Amino acid sequence: MAFAKSSILCTILLVLAACAAPTVKNCSADIKCFGESEKTCSPARISITQEGVTQSMEIIEPQGDACVEKISVKEKTSHSEATCRMPKANWGTQMSLADSCKYCTGSLIESLKHLKVC
């Protein structure tokens, strides 16, 4: 009897955990799809490859009044990343270079600072 109760409890916990996990929309290379998700800070990802450079972005989740996004740029021999916390007022707007320097941290931003872009 204890095993049956334990098994039912485990099943319920697994179902609840699956329901609580946010679904990440895969926008492939569709910028419009990703932009729509940015307006509400809904989890989504996009990946675009041009001339041997792959740029990927993923909307993680809202945290307070900020939308957390991860950016990754991969070339053949290098890989840079950044984590951005965009204020709610900027959700759904295209991130400018100045915004990137202001709201993002990580190796990608450090590279921009080294190039004196930030």
Q: Where are the domains of the chain?
A: 26-114
Tens of pLDDT, residue by residue over 92-108, are 888 888 888 999 999 99
Q: Which of 109, 107, 59 is nearest to 85 (CA)?
A: 59
What rounded mean pLDDT belongs to the chain? 84
Rounded CA-CA distance 112/97 in Å is: 10
Mean pLDDT along residues 27-54: 95
Q: For residue 22, what pLDDT band results from cuts at 50, 70 and 90?
A: low
d(CA 73, CA 93): 20
